Structure 1
């Protein structure tokens, strides 16, 4: 009979400080359906500026923001 030994390793996922962050934003205002206009991956300032201008032009006030980053995985000691 053989015995199996499992060794579990704990990992930690952290944001990679050398990676760029990206933002996307989509207008989800609307009565019957979402407006759907969006601004693709960019930096946070440009996404916020686009939302403010869209709000100014349309009166829409509800948006869905998406944030992306890079991560690293390390073994916990």
Structure 2
């Protein structure tokens, strides 16, 4: 993967709200996962802003990290 991002995410088609996005107002993560081995991620509030490009394993790590940050403390 030559670049880790696309400067203008509007260049990609097929954006959808991630099933991992919460229901909080204004807190939407959108993804395009139609490209083999690459998941593009953008902020829905900035559709022409940059999109991160993640490998499948990078996406899994990203989601795992988010889940760990949100999980209640088990002290």
Q: TM-score, normalised by structure 1?
A: 0.31
Name the structure with the higher strand share.
1
1 or 2 for the larger relative contact order (CA 8 Å, sep ≥6)? 1
